[in-house]
Chains A and B, each alone.
Chain A
Amino acid sequence: MKISYSWLQEYLDIQVSPKDLAEKIERSSVEVDSVTQPSDGLKKIVVGKIVSMEPHPDSDHLKVCSVDVGDDELSQIVCGAPNVAADKKVIVALPGSRIGGNVKIKRSKMRGVVSNGMICALDEIGFSKDVVPKEWADGIYFLPEDAKVGEPVFPYLGMDDYLIDVDVTPNRGDMLSVYGVARDVGAIYGQTPKLNHPQVEEVSSLAADKVSLDVDQELAPIYTMRIVENVKIQPSPVWLQIKLWNAGIRPINNVVDVTNYILLKYGQPLHAFDYGKVSGSTIKARYAQKGEKLTTLDEAEHELSERDIVIADDQKPIALAGVMGGLNSEIDEQTTTVAIESAVFTPTLIRKTAQRQNLHTDASQHFERGVDRGGVEEAVNAAAQMMHELADGDILKGIVTGATYDVKDEVVSVTLSRVNHVLGTALTLDQVTDIFKRLGFGVQVDGETYTVSVPSTRWDIHIPADLLEEVARIYGYDNIPSTLPSGPTTIGALTEKQKLIRDSRRVLEALGLNQAISYALTTKPKASQFMMRESAVTELSWPMTADHTTLRMNLISGLLDDVAYNNARRVKDVALYEQGRVFYKDSADQVRPSEHEHIAGAVSGQLVVDPLKNAKNNAIDFYQLKGIVEKYLDNLAINGEVEFVATDRYPEMHPGRTADIQIHGHYVGFIGQVHPSVAEMYKINQTYVFELDLDALIEMPKDMNQFEPISKYPVITRDVALLVDKSVTNAQVLAQIEKKGGAYLKSVELFDIYDGKNLPGGKQSLAYTLTYQNPNATLTDDEVNQAFEKVQSTLTNELGAEIR
């Protein structure tokens, strides 16, 4: 809400600049979005008087005006506005001026006639079209008769005022009015705002004879009305219009403007009905009935729900209560009798209706945040009195009340020691008393206990903690000391699981993969790819976009999206890993998915990129990524053997280049090449991926005792080269070697693999180094030879190997 600095000055003696005031408000009350002056960016725009006017020689609609702009000579200005007329005071943008939209005005020629500037409409000097009064919408604006020629126009239009745009939090609905802000600013500066209260001049006939109210108090705890007769509808005086347009509200006519003015001033939304359009004399506040429709003032038709509150006459809804009036009871130029509604509606119902009908108005926003229940009567009185003064209306006697109750002060107690205990301050009894008094709260002190009576203008305060906040903000957060929590020592440390997750990230980074953080919400097909187990999907009930509807059940698909993003931008070499959650459901009936930490990687292009021409350009392959995964698992020191078992069970993976990863016989993940057709779908180059169940890896027992003394006895090695069928795997060979290797076989290493030319068809040559060592004695050649022979014969017998 934009609060006028000059309007505040009517109630307070503010000695600081608007900017400083805004800063103070921000530090003590609510956030301030901006401080602006409507004339910001405008210059050399002055009052001019059209002395005479003649038609343009070459145009039907242009007029050549002689304008007094305060210079010795009259200025010739060409104007095309339909309402341009002699003897009027108008807004003149002089040559060299700057008008709205940062447009510069120069001396120019219009169809051959010199124009020394421009006569402006309101929207040309920065007014939003939404706030320009209808009467001035299609032409230039006429300034008051007494406007001084040659002077800047800004003061005549309220454009020299400063507007402080406050961003009010949901609890501080009281700050959505000039009075509310005046009270709070008063408290900050220790001033009591001089707020005026209306004296109502009533006629003798009774309002109650005109209207009776039938109100469901559940919907409207307070519902009152005043009747004003014989009003003369006309434009409001300029001072009122200025207050409205500076607040972003379009002036309409004196009656409607009064209701909006009261809203700005008191924060109490009012609604004015044209009494003459109301059928019958009973006005109801009730739930809408099924099938009822209402066209609101914005000319939108609403199908009403049975949970919407309406104001209705004996036939039809005439307003969407607390949100917007109906077109069928609108104040118009023929209106003579006005029914002014001043009420409090139940906030949640208004909020729901505004949401349901997608109609968020100033009124609904006020009601949602609550209004001063003690101020309903004053607001309607002030409105009626203004209609009397501005529209010559006769105020009928009495306020008609459909629902009301006795609004009392909220009494809250708090002790001084509590205040200092929570704030960490050393305030005195008097300091705190003073703060409560400045806020306009009643306060009684008994010992160190304050009994505070909070008036209805601060309906957000109910409990001692609320009072603490009042003390803190008025005392000033800057004045609160800075300390750190004292008290018993606590131990801060990452848990074992957290450490392993951090270690996992570091290891994969050390191995060349960059950490990615992808979206956990994806499409249903992508969420369901690369699945490590069966799971039902978890879908949002109301997603925002089709790209993010379903919770992922794998990390790879997100990484492939990342690869695609990079590939699309000609970044070919992508090495990523991600550590994050996947979401599983055992069945579609399970409401809440279980969450599992996974870790996954995707590498496309080269892992290490050497731009030098003679450097080897090696695109990632299965074995390079396998090396990374092996090293990672090695670092985790999980107790148990890691096995890679060929599999074709993942539809999204290359059937011949994928392996399940098992540790100690337990499935923990998989690795391999993304299936070419899936890669095509993602629009990515050849990519290798892995995904591991990080929770499972964390749970698995770790090899705690990793130290093995380094033997002082020599090792003896033997090499063996075998010719075997291509279908024989390395794992099979290793298994045979290890089975028959004997007690001293320390390690086996593949050092050559060849399946090229010069080999019989379907054969490959594999060569291994076997290393023998006795930790307790020197091995003899004989011992090694014996053991080695056993290995050779088992390879021949079991795998049909030809030893070469």
Chain B
Amino acid sequence: MTLKDQLDKIRQERKEDIKDVVDLKKLDSLRVELLGKKGPITQALRGMRDLPADERPSFGQFANSVRDELQGAIETRREELKKQLLNKQLEHEKIDVTLPGKPVAQGQPHVIQQIIDQIEDLFIGMGYQVLSGPEVEEDKYNFEMMNLPKDHPARDMQDTFYITKEILMRTQTSPMQARTLEKHDFSKGPLKMISPGVVYRRDTDDPTHSHQFHQVEGIVIDKHITMADLKGTLELIAHELFGDRFDIRLRPSYFPFTEPSVEADITCFNCGGKGCAVCKYTGWIEVLGAGMVHPNVLNMAGVDSEVYGGFAFGLGPDRFAMLKYGVDDIRNFYLNDVRFLTQFSKKG
């Protein structure tokens, strides 16, 4: 057998061996064995000097090709083995992706807060300011300047927590109408504001009554504000809070501080307007009161009702939340059962 034949035999046999190796370490020792200083190729190259000079270049070329081939085979095998190993490891690392995620601490805004924030954002986008007023109010602002003098029968509509004869827990956010009207400088432009906050009534707490609840007051006063503007604004609130398919219906009502006064009903969320027990088979649910600001309210606040006018509305976030989520007991909002609070995801 010539040297070349020997080498060729090694190439063929050992290439098979390389393919059979199943372990990276063994592959490594095989590499040393084949390609190392004591390996057959090195040996063969060393034995080249015994060859005739004219054969040497071609043998050398051949030997190098054998070495490259084996080396290539080893590398290929090494990649294969590594990949196998990794796959095995990955298989070993397999987890149950259906196990629960690790809990993290995250709190939620109160559902009423969510509604108030939503209303605030809507009106801020339309150029309204957000103002907050005192919860302990003067009779003057809560009633008198809202066109409810001391003996006015409508005062009976709102049972009041008095602190003294003149100081009370505000029964509505409407006093902020009077307070802002008094201060607003109309030479600087129209008054457009909403005022959210807590109000109080001398009521016994039950599923539909709470001695503490929330209101959002809104008022727009300028030289040309119409009832149609009020209607459009109320429709916008309904669409923002409940969805576009909800309509608004206005009905005559009575508030001492607006004239004309209306109550706004919204399409019954429960039956979509077809009529059901929730809406007493009318298809409508009362959600807020509104109207054109009474000239007395403007005049008492020092605003010329001949020149300026506009609308005001008051809505109840508690009621909105009850309607939107079907909460059947208003007390839930103030007892703060964690199981209740954490139900209302911000998206809504």
Q: Which of A's residues lie within 8 Å of B, judged by CB?
A: 23, 26-31, 34, 169-172, 347-348, 351-352, 368-369, 421-425, 463, 465-466, 468-469, 472-473, 477-478, 480-495, 498, 502, 505-506, 508-521, 538-545, 548, 551, 559, 562, 565-566, 569, 571, 573-577, 580-581, 583, 591-593, 595, 607-612, 615
Contacts and interface: CB of A to CB of B under 8 A. Distances in A.
A477 B228 CA distance: 9
Given A488-B222, A576-B336, 13 more contacts: A27-B252, A29-B252, A30-B252, A170-B157, A421-B224, A425-B227, A463-B295, A469-B252, A510-B106, A512-B104, A512-B105, A540-B163, A544-B161
Contacts of A592: 136, 138, 163, 167
Number of contact residues on B: which range applies? Answer: 35 or more
Given A169-B254, A540-B163, A515 B107 contact: yes
Contact of A517 (B129, B135, B333): B333
Contacts of B341: 514-516, 576
Interface string B172-212: 00000000000000000110100000101011100000011
A277 B123 CA distance: 67
B123 to A, nearest CB: 7
A544 B202 contact: yes
Nearest to A548: B211
Nearest to B105: A512
Given A425-B228, A541-B162, A515 B108 contact: yes
B282 A514 contact: no
A351 B253 contact: no
Nearest to A583: B136
B107 A513 contact: yes
Contact of B231 (A468, A481, A506, A615): A481
A368 B152 CA distance: 10
A514 B295 contact: no
Given A494-B130, A608-B104, A424 B229 contact: yes
Contacts of A30: 252
Contact of B113 (A31, A465, A505, A581): A505
Contacts of A512: 104-107
A465 B296 CA distance: 10
Interface in B58-93: none
Pick the 6 closest A-B CB pairs, nearest first: A512-B105, A424-B228, A424-B226, A469-B260, A169-B254, A477-B250
B338 A576 contact: yes
Contacts of A477: 231, 249-252, 262
Contact of B224 (A486, A566, A575, A612): A486
Nearest to A27: B251
A487 B222 contact: yes
Contacts of B337: 565-566, 569, 571
Nearest to A517: B110
B254 A170 contact: yes
B212 A521 contact: yes
A591 B226 contact: no
A491 B127 contact: yes
B103 A608 contact: yes
Contacts, number: 260
Interface stretch (B19-27, B47-55, B232-240): B232-240
B220 interface: yes
Candidate in B113, B252, B309 with the most chain A CB atoms within 10 angstroms? B252
Given A171-B254, A484-B126, A488-B189, A517 B200 contact: no
B334 interface: yes
Contacts of B113: 505, 515, 517
Contacts of A551: 136
Given A468-B260, A469-B252, A478-B249, A542 B202 contact: yes
B348 interface: no
Contacts of B249: 27, 477-478
A490 B138 CA distance: 30
B230 to A, nearest CB: 8
A487 B335 contact: no
Contacts of B153: 170, 347, 351, 368-369
B342 interface: yes
B259 A492 contact: no
A610 B102 CA distance: 7
A465 B291 CA distance: 11
Contacts of B320: none
Contacts of A569: 337
A290 B62 CA distance: 137
Contact of B211 (A422, A482, A490, A521): A521
B227 A540 contact: no
B35 interface: no
B291 to A, nearest CB: 8
Candidate in A170, A481, A517 with the most chain B CB atoms within 10 angstroms? A517
B130 to A, nearest CB: 6
B196 to A, nearest CB: 10
Candidate in A423, A574, A615 with the most chain B CB atoms within 10 angstroms? A423
9 contacts: A348-B151, A482-B235, A487-B190, A490-B127, A490-B192, A519-B334, A520-B198, A542-B202, A573-B338
B202 A505 contact: no
A359 to B, nearest CB: 15
Nearest to A624: B105
A489 B125 CA distance: 11
A781 B280 CA distance: 83
A494 B224 contact: no
B123 A492 contact: yes
A480 B107 contact: no
Nearest to A28: B252
A541 B163 contact: yes
B233 A521 contact: no
B124 A494 contact: yes
B294 interface: yes
A565 B334 CA distance: 11
A521 B228 contact: no
B274 interface: no
B117 A539 contact: no
Contacts of A513: 107
B335 A562 contact: yes
Contacts of A543: 161
Given A421-B224, A478-B249, A489-B127, A565 B106 contact: no
Candidate in B198, B204, B228, B295 with the most chain A CB atoms within 10 angstroms? B228
B128 A492 contact: yes
Contacts of B309: 422
A515 B109 contact: yes
Contacts of B339: 571
B292 A422 contact: yes
Contacts of B129: 490, 492-493
A352 B203 CA distance: 20
Interface string B290-309: 00101100000000000001
B254 A487 contact: no
B333 A481 contact: no
Contacts of B198: 520, 580-581
Contacts of A486: 224, 229
A612 B236 CA distance: 47
B134 interface: yes
Contacts of A581: 135, 198
Contacts of B162: 540-542
Contacts of B203: 544
Given A171-B254, A469-B260, A485-B192, A577 B228 contact: no
